[in-house]
Amino acid sequence: MQKKIVLIVIFLVAFSLLTYFFKSSVSRNVTRDTSMPIPVVPVSNLKNTTDLPGGGQNYRISWFKVDDIGLLNLIPNFKEKKEFNEIAVAENCKAASNGGFYTKEDSPTGLFITGGKVMKKWEKTDFLNGVFVVDNNNKAFIGDKGPGGEVKIALETGPIIKRNSQLKVLSVANDKRARRVLVGITKAEEVYFFVIYDSTSYYLGPYLVETGKMVQMIENSLKISLRDVLNLDGGSASAFLNDGILLTEATPVGSIFCLKR
């Protein structure tokens, strides 16, 4: 009788453990499924996303337009290292993009101003040769030097891809294929954020020296005329959200542009 009781107890314990691990496995699988970066649907069904024709690769672009520049925030994430989507949800972003580069010491690589507060001063280099600015009058511009007065947002990054409607000729050592994120301003003063990536491998994209050609293809596809275009961080430390897709990061993004709802 005692032996039967022991066997029953062992059976119940084993059953409980199996049930626990099964539920944990299901929970993990559900988490992975819900964080898929792109819905498995034809690109024609995705909002603000299209394939780039004639690029010689499976390149795809997604974008969002900043309809109200006053709703655009720049959120630092250098020390916090929170997940991009976590911040986007917490900040109620209807669209979002990663910002610029950061150092091994988890600080901005150049000028960084958010909410009018300066986190780091201007440090121009040959590569990080541009700045995206939103001034106190909610006017956005891309320049090649720090703003002269107080501004709401300033992010030094680079390189500049297009300036005053002229594409720049880039020379990049150790250039590699990687997902590219850009911010651009049209001749009509409209602000756009773009991500260019390989539709078969989301962290890959064009070589940096190819981005000028990609910008021309974007202009043709969207029927817009971009006056200035600036490169943001890319590759594994990039992320992007619009009302059609979510592209997540593999390594933390240093900062986030959030377009509030």
Q: Is 48 exposed, middle or buried (0-12, 13-18, 19+ CB in 10 A)?
A: middle
Contact of 230 with 158, CB cutoff 8 Å: yes
Compute the distance between CA of residue 250 and CA of residue 83 in angstroms, rounded to an integer. 10
Task: Tell me the pLDDT tens digit for each residue of 77-126.
Answer: 999 999 999 999 999 999 999 999 999 999 999 999 999 999 999 998 89
**Structure confidence at residue 24 as a pLDDT band (50, 70, 90):** very low
Nearest CA to 197 among 182, 219, 184? 182
Contact of 244 with 62, CB cutoff 8 Å: yes
Task: Tell me the pLDDT tens digit for each residue of 144-153.
Answer: 999 989 999 9
CB neighbour list of residue 189: distance below 8 Å, 6 or more residues apart: 139, 140
pTM attached to this predicted model: 0.84
Give mean pLDDT, residues 154-179.
Answer: 97
Nearest CA to 131 among 248, 252, 231? 231
Task: Tell me the pLDDT tens digit for each residue of 198-226.
Answer: 999 999 999 999 999 999 999 999 999 99
At residue 2, does pLDDT exceed 90?
no
